[in-house]
Amino acid sequence: MTSVLSRTLSVAPLAAARAGARVAAPRAPIFRPAVSLKFAARALGSPAPNFEAETTHGPIDFHEFIGDSWTILFSHPADFTPVCTTELGAFAQLEEEFEKRNTKLIGLSANGLDSHEKWIQDIEEVATNGGRVGFPIIADPERKIAFLYDMVDHQDLTNIDTKGVAFTIRAVFIIDPNKKIRLTMLYPASTGRNTAEVLRVLDSLQTGDKAGVTTPINWVPGQDVIVPPSVSDEAAAAKFGEFMAVKPYLRFTKYPTELLKE
C-alpha cells in the first residue's frame, strides 16, 4: 500500500426563490469609491443559481444546459487579455478529458458575442496541440451573471471598466448533476488557473461520491484514499477489504477501482 503523509450582495429575487427555480439575473451594480457593500459568496453545497444567457452556442437556460452532467463554469475578466487566452486554450485542449468524466465546460467573459467569436480565433491560433474551443462562452457585458455568482473583485473596487462596472475575476465553479455547487476557486486577475488541478479536484469529488471515501493531500487517481471516520472498522473491512490504520481516525485503503465501476 502506498505510504501517504492531506459578504452580502443582496439579490432580492433569489432570496425568496425555491431551490432549482429559474431566476432572472440581477442588474449589475455600479461601483463607486464611496459605496460600501457586503457580499455573499456562493456556499459549497448550495444550489447553483439558474439564469438565461446568450452564448457562442446560442441562448441557454443554465440548469437545462447542466442536465444530468457535472459542469464547470469558469469566468474571465475580458476578451483579448493575455492570461485569459492561455487559459481558454488549455481548457480546450483538455475538453476530451472532461467529457470522459461526464463533465461539461462553459466559460464566461464580460464582452459580447461578436467579441467572443473573434477572440476564439486567437485562442485557437495560440493553443498548443491544435486545441479547438468546443464549449460555449457566455456573453456577460453587464456582469449580471458575474454578480449573481459573486465573481467580482471586492478587494479592488477601483478595478472597473469605462462604464464604472466592476471587472469579473477568475472564478471556477464545479457543479454536480443535482445543480449543487461542490467546489469554488477564486483567482485574482493577475493569476492564471491550473487545469490539472481542476481535473484533480473533479476526480476527487467524483471518487468520493461513488466510493464513499475522501482523498488526502496531493492525491491523484490511482493512489490510496482515506476511509471516513464515520465508517467503523467492521464496515470498512466489509466494503474495502484491507485498510491501514495510521491513527484510529486516519485509515488508508487502496484506490477503489471496483466500487468506481458500479
Q: Residue 31: what pLDDT? A: 40
Q: Kind and range of the H or E element at 185?
A: strand 181-187
Q: How far apart are CA 118 and CA 49, in angstroms?
A: 29
Q: Catalytic site residues?
A: 84
Q: What is the DSSP letter of 70?
A: E
Cite the DSSP H helix spans in the chain: 12-15, 62-66, 82-93, 95-100, 113-126, 144-148, 195-211, 233-240, 257-261
Query: What pLDDT is attached to residue 89?
Result: 93
Q: What are phi and psi of 153, to 5 degrees?
A: -90, 100
Q: Enumerate residues 6+ apart whose C-beta is below 8 A from 90.
A: 127, 131, 195
Task: Pick out the chain residues at pLDDT < 70.
Answer: 1-41, 130, 154-167
Tell me the pLDDT tens digit for each residue of 7-43.
Answer: 333 333 333 344 444 544 544 444 433 333 344 458 9
pLDDT at 162: 60
pLDDT at 160 (0 to 100) = 56
pLDDT at 159: 59
- Cα–Cα distance for residue pair 141/135, rounded to 1 Å: 19
Of 245, 262, 242, whose CA–CA distance to 254 is shortest?
Answer: 242
**How is residue 214 written as a grid cell?**
475522501
pLDDT of residue 151: 86
- What are the structural domains of the chain? 12-205 (3.40.30.10), 212-261 (no CATH)
pLDDT, residue 158, reads 54
Q: Would you state the pLDDT for residue 127?
A: 81
